[in-house]
Amino acid sequence: MTVPGRRSSTFMRLLRSGFTDPSAAARLLDSDALASVRTDPVLLDALGATADPDLALLGLVRLAEAQSGDERPVLLDTLVSAKPLRDRLLGVLGASEALADHLARHPRDWHALVTYEAADLHPGLAEFEQGLAQAHDPIALRVAYRRCLLSIAARDVCGTIDVAQTAAELADLATATLRAALRIASAAAPDDAAACRLAVIAMGKCGGNELNYVSDVDVIFVGDAPNGGGGADEAKAVQAATRLASHLMRICSETTIEGTIWPVDANLRPEGRNGPLVRTLASHLAYYQRWAKTWEFQALLKARAVAGDPDLGAQYIDAITPLVWQAAERENFVADVQKMRRRVVDNIPASQVDRELKLGPGGLRDVEFAVQLLQLVHGRSDAGLHSGSTLDALHALAAGGYVGRTDAAQLNDAYRFLRAMEHRIQLYRLRRTHLVPEDEADLRRLGRSLGLRTEPVAELNKAWRRHASVVRRLHEKLFYRPLLDAVAQLSPGETRLSPRAAGQRLEALGYADPASALRHLEALSSGVTRKAAIQRTLLPVMLGWFADSADPDAGLLNFRKVSDALGKTPWYLRLLRDEGAAAENLARVLSAGRLAPDLLMRAPEAVALLGDPEGLQPRTHEALAQEVLAAVGRADSAEAGVAAARGVRRRELFRTSAADIIRSYGTEDSPAEEDPGALVDRVGNAVSDLTAATIAGALRAAVRDHWGEILPTRFAIIGVGRFGGHELGYGSDADVLFVHEPREGVDEQEAAKAAQTVIAEMRRLLQLPTADPPLLIDADLRPEGRSGPLVRTLSSYAAYYRRWSLTWESQALLRAEPVAGDAELGARFIELIDPLRYPAEGLGEDAVREIRRLKARMESERLPRGADPTLHTKLGRGGLSDVEWTVQLMQMQHAWSEPGLRTTRTREALAAAHAAGLIPAEEAQILDEAWVLATRVRNAVMLVRGRAGDTFPSEARELSAVGRYLGYAEGTVGELLDDYRRITRRARAVVDDLFYGA
């Protein structure tokens, strides 16, 4: 754009000064309102220094146009001659559209800025009360409130006061406003005012002297009779006080032509909005002593008497203070506080969570909750922590040694920056919001208001994310590092927690045996060795991850065991120190239950898998078989060969269980996997492949030890049940069938004896007492069950199935698949059984009735005595058996014509049944969800308890660990059981329809 002459020069200067619309700015400068100052370079420079020069210029023109008579020259002369006032006025106009609107409506209010022109004059409660003294009605109070607010905002945006002083002055202004509103309400109802005593208790940020520009002002009302009497006088006094309190709330909250001051929120009172607005002091105390929840005491930490009867207010504070500082002794105190914080985060709309400055992860509430939690834990014995202000409390925590000084300083900086962002966001339109704007112009104004001028948007986002990252680590920073100060050898004179205080903190954070935990910490971190120094760096983070589990004590104990075993190995501590993922992965694994730690303790060097990016990826069946067979081939004996194979199995079980835990729990860098079905499939495939490879290794060892390389009979092992379906869990046995075929020229009896011998040897080798878990081979699904021969020839199987096979045996063959031995013989076995398990034209009515009868009998006879049928994962309502029999019935009826149903895997068969139109999508989803959940519960029980089980654990900590594995937060075990019952109840309804034809 080309602008001739002076306008071209002005245009370029405006552009350099930060105006985003120089053309519009030039037109405003040419207006009559600024005629005497439009060419003054001082004014242009001052406008360019504001957060939004375009907004500041527009506001200035509106203000000048609103001046009457001789007022405009006074304003403009003062503007160019008085720098402090110029900076404040233009600073407000460039940062707040709402205050510019106020000045346009009340053009003389700019004089309020002259009062505080001296940088060292900071108004307090008395000055604000004076500023509101002439307001005798709600509208006048609003105007006077905005006038006082103008003086705070002007010094805030110019940097005369910092964010903490701004928040304190806003709280003082709120206090003065509550007093003025009560004065107006009392004047309107003098009889009520005379009939009662009313105290207004500020809560939240107002009570803590750290208020925002626009925020609900939380209060609690306390009433009493003028003479303190009870009975009818007290009841009448409470009624009168309630009317006064209600009028006070309306005065502040109602919207008029002058807008709203702020809502007065009394929902923090006993019983919340369902409770009476005003109570006597005795009624308050009775509630807090009998019924109050933990969060209510946390809220009372900031309680401060601000208006009304000062004696009654003081009595209230004196009475509730001891209750506040006893709150940490309540059962589940920390869990309750953490649960409340999680609930706040969970309620943030997904579209807003990344922009939520206050409530989101890494936001202001994270700091406030953590500081309050530390205050309540340690304030029982340290009155220096009794502060309602977050920053003052953080300073006290650092001074008392409860928080490291460096950590406190970083958190202080982060909190101040985030609060400053919040202030400037709200100041723009004086609206209650905590969302970081998305509009580029809003972000630019916000960044410039915080002093970021080169690339304001980019610099703002970078600084915001950096500070939020600090806050996200506050849990570790505030809770765990000081614990080491209690037990580590520190430099002389450094403040540290006493062992008693450290033990209290561990107990509050969920450690059931703080004394043992302290001993572990001392063993790990004391001394001046390099190992101890690295441990002191690692442990604060590790302790946080342990405490985030259902059994922190076990996590810490297991970590000590692993460290004792590997502490002198150079790579171990270096791995944990330098590979952040390895340390967090280890912490999750060690505190999630017994199985994975037990596997790791038998070979601690497997911890290296946790730091390898590929270390948690399952290995292929081919790779496993190759490694196992090679290890067996190198061994000197069958025992040594199978010992090597079982060692591989132990390592791979650890790999699989560790990956399962980490993917289920998630880490800071990698959230929990969202698809439970994928987790189940990954575990089932990995454990099944590993079992097949181990059995193949045992077969090779047994054959070589007795016959060299060639067995007198061809021999194949057929996996059935979960093994054949690639659905093994951590605690599953290997269900198999054995089939052999004598080699040419070998006597049948000799061949049968060889097959029997190799089976017995395999079983012996796989169950030898060693440090590795045994592998049990179960052949009870063979023809005639336990009464039948352990191994048959292929022709014997053919004869049996032709003459004697029952329907249930054909059903059992649905998941038959060769897993080891002679591949060609295994393939011929599958050819033999396919017509049985996929009968031509499907099942007849008699066969269907037989399957249904057998299933019903199993339900009535095999469920363990006393077991809850709604919670038994295998045989219970809607459990594994229900889903599998329903799917298998569809396979036997329709697989002859639907090739997709010819699979050994339950979920694949269910998906194929839906694809073939045999089951609606919704019902297929219901069955799949139930099957996956029941399978995950069984896996979780094994991971947590170290032994297999089909029901939920009865012990509370174990049940909580199962819940955490399944994605349920601490304290939500009831929801887990309810969800399980609901999901399986729906599945049973589908089974009744599809399987039983109900």
Q: What is the pLDDT of residues 689-724, one digit of tens each?
A: 999 999 999 999 999 988 887 899 999 999 999 999
Place of tokens 């940097």: 159
Where does 870-977 show beta strands of DSSP type E?
Answer: none
Report residues of the chain scoring pLDDT below 50: 1-5, 118-120, 480-481, 483-496
| Alpha-carbon gap, residue 118 to 84, rounded angstroms | 8
Alpha helix (H) ranges present in 361-480? 364-378, 390-399, 405-429, 440-449, 456-472, 474-479
Strand 734-742, strand 777-778: pairing: parallel
CB 94 within 8 A of CB 53: yes
Q: What's the alpha-carbon Rg for the chain, to the nearest Å?
A: 38
| Alpha-carbon gap, residue 572 to 566, rounded angstroms | 6
Burial of 853 (0-12, 13-18, 19+ CB in 10 A): exposed
The per-residue pLDDT for 304 is 97
H or E stretch including 791?
strand 791-793
Q: What is the pLDDT of residues 212-231, one digit of tens each?
A: 999 999 999 999 999 876 67
| Alpha-carbon gap, residue 304 to 298, rounded angstroms | 14
H or E stretch including 640?
helix 638-665
Closest CA to 937 of 685, 690, 688, 676: 676
Q: Within 10 A of 938 (CB to CB), how many other CB atoms are there? A: 23
The per-residue pLDDT for 828 is 97
Alpha helix (H) ranges present in 67-119? 71-81, 83-95, 97-105, 112-115
| Alpha-carbon gap, residue 984 to 987, rounded angstroms | 5
What SS3 class is residue 817?
Answer: strand
Name beta bridge partners: 259.
Answer: 256
Joined together, the tokens standing for residue 383 give 């009155």
Length of the chain: 998
The per-residue pLDDT for 646 is 94
Provide the CA 173 distance to its chain's centre, in angstroms. Answer: 37
In degrees, rounded to 5, the angle at the alpha carbon of residue 289 between the alpha carbons of residues 285 and 291 is 110
Closest CA to 204 of 418, 398, 422, 388: 388
Positive or negative, the Cα torsion across 401, 404, 408, 411? negative
CB 46 within 8 A of CB 90: yes
Q: Within 10 A of 115 (CB to CB), how many other CB atoms are there? A: 12
CB 233 within 8 A of CB 227: yes
The per-residue pLDDT for 836 is 93
Burial of 166 (0-12, 13-18, 19+ CB in 10 A): buried
**pTM value?**
0.62
How far CA 584 is from CA of 540, 547, 548, 940, in Å, comes to: 12, 12, 11, 20
CB 856 within 8 A of CB 963: no
**Dihedral pair phi/psi, residue 474, rounded to 5°:** -65, -30
Name residues whose C-beta falls within 8 Å of residue 649's C-beta, 6 or more positions apart in sequence: 690, 691, 693, 694, 772, 773, 775
Looking at beta carbons, which pairs linking 101-108 to residues 24 or more positions away fall under 8 Å? 102/146, 102/147, 102/150, 103/59, 103/62, 103/63, 103/66, 103/150, 104/59, 104/62, 104/63, 104/66, 105/66, 105/258, 106/143, 106/146, 106/147, 107/63, 107/66, 107/67, 107/68, 107/71, 108/71
What SS3 class is residue 777?
Answer: strand
Burial of 344 (0-12, 13-18, 19+ CB in 10 A): middle
The per-residue pLDDT for 484 is 44
Half-sphere exposure (CA, 13 Å, Cβ side) for 821? 29
Output DSSP code: residue 671: P
Half-sphere exposure (CA, 13 Å, Cβ side) for 234? 10
CB 464 within 8 A of CB 435: no
How far CA 409 is from CA of 389, 395, 403, 406, 540, in Å, comes to: 16, 9, 10, 5, 18
In degrees, rounded to 5, the angle at the alpha carbon of residue 742 between the alpha carbons of residues 736 and 745 is 170
CB 992 within 8 A of CB 998: yes
Helix 499-508 × helix 364-378 angle, to 10°: 130
What is the separation, in whole angstroms, between the first and last Cα of the chain? 80
Joined together, the tokens standing for residue 7 give 């306008």
Torsion angle defined by CA atoms of residues 11, 13, 16 and 19, in that order, rounded to the nearest 10 degrees:
-50
Name residues whose C-beta falls within 8 Å of residue 466's C-beta, 6 or more positions apart in sequence: none
Q: What is the pLDDT of residues 636-654, one digit of tens each?
A: 999 999 999 999 999 999 9
